[in-house]
Amino acid sequence: MTLFRGPSPTFLLQQTFMKVIAMLTSRILRGLSFGVFFPFVLTVAVSSFAWSKPNVLFIAIDDLNDWVGCLQGHPQAKTPNIDKLAERGTLFSNAHCQAPLCNASRTSLMTGLRPSTTGIHGLAPWFRDLPEWKGVVSLPQHFSRNGYRTYTTGKIYHHNYGRIPGTEFDVVGTPASGGPYPKEKLVDTPTKMRIVDWGNFPHRDEDKGDWKVASWAVEQLNAKPKEPFFLSVGFFLPHVPCYATEKWFDLHPEESVKLPLVRHDDRDDTPRFSWYMHWKLPEPRLKYLEESGQWKNLVRSYLACTSFVDSQVGRVIDALDANGLTENTIIVLWSDHGWHLGEKLITGKTSLWDRSTRVPLIFAGPGVTKGETCNRSVELLDLYPTLVDMCGLPENNQLAGQSIVPLLQDATAKRERPAITTHNPGNHAVRSERWRYIVYADGSEELYDMQADPHEWTNLANRPEYDNIIAEHRRWLPEKNAPLAPGSRDRILSYIDGQPNFEGEDIKPEDAIPGF
């Protein structure tokens, strides 16, 4: 019979000790003196503090929605390594991103600031290029300044942002890549962009960008890095192009692939403004997938790519275990946002529905209860303060997130705060345990009962009996709605004086919805 199901008493004692040492160190550095014992106290405190701090393995996966075995988002998802990680720790079944787009989401997570605060909503700018945010202390910087050796490989920030050694991270490894690529596109999509493609062609797993990213991480672990370390590993797939080798397609035979449940009248009760969020994008509409016969191929490709990435997650965690680093390493696995595969009649992201905002989030390691699933609403914004809390580092008072350590110790602990997702100024979603409330920049609204209607098929916003529910969720909307940051581009929607504009093009009331 196990009497203690949470973190070990030893860990809790270490965590308390680290916080005390951090406080003492902070006070010492501000000029306080302990007389003749000052050098001795400082030396012992700092060395004990460094010795006690756990390592962090920070695993990011691009565009991964809830099609993961342990989240049951798709009945045919095969992700044994991620599922095993969930068994080793706590799985958050109701975790959501701050923005349904790579740069905006990752900027928010890594700075601890909301998109509605920074004004960063598109694939540009890089926040360090903005005078207001140039000096913000990012998550890896905070760890580096408090005794950690920080490493990165693959995609953590968007694109090549943050990859100059000694700036965001101490050591920078293999970059992210969706390669190798076929000589020609495999699918003739409406957009000719090479990145919007999927399928199988002859190539090797060992040649794939994500294999090389995992290999670099494994090499660092095999080299027994000096502890404490912060190792971030960012995988590119299942982001498009969704290419995988034959062995991963074989896990998902074409004849048995199940398509997502959709209703073709699903958008009849959603505001027209909801279309402006993804007015003209390279990702195809469901209409194209059905007419071209490519829907099943895309679903199969996404599942195959997810299974491949899962295998690379397994390689990294196996190396952590093989090198005896498991007991003193916190593992956190997350995705930057979800991805539609026909739901709401679209593919891609940039929506404020669950398919686009819900992400896998798993914590494992010291201080984390094993084998638990937490249904409370949490945000990616919470990762920064949570890791600071778990590692006993000095607090960063600029963070907008909230430590979820209480939920890592007891998955049923109280959590009042919902998750907030924002995409371009004035468009917000508030996700509580039961409800999803959406408000657009023109004031139009949506409300879904996620228990009774998990597919978000019935918009309840115009029914008076739900006015109190809407009012309760509206009080959580961000107080600040910063304008678009200078240099904003790609997926940018503005709404000024009643005029919607998508990427520089005004949208008129009579304009037909593209591709619908």
| Residues involved in catalysis | 102, 158
Tokens of 40: 């001795």
Q: Which of 437, 250, 416, 257 is nearest to 342 (CA)?
A: 257
The answer to whether the beta carbons of residues 367 and 386 sit under 8 Å apart is no
CB count in 10 Å sphere of residue 507 = 19
The answer to whether the beta carbons of residues 331 and 85 sit under 8 Å apart is yes
At position 130, the amino acid (one-letter code) is L
Question: Own/partner pairs for 134-140, CB < 8 Å, 24+ apart?
Answer: 136/111, 136/398, 137/396, 137/398, 138/110, 138/111, 138/162, 138/168, 139/109, 139/110, 139/111, 139/112, 139/383, 139/384, 139/387, 140/110, 140/168, 140/169, 140/230, 140/232
Burial of 256 (0-12, 13-18, 19+ CB in 10 A): exposed
Report which secondary-structure segment, H or E, holds 276.
Answer: helix 273-276
How far separated are the first and last CA of the chain, in Å rounded?
59
CA distance 235 to 222: 20
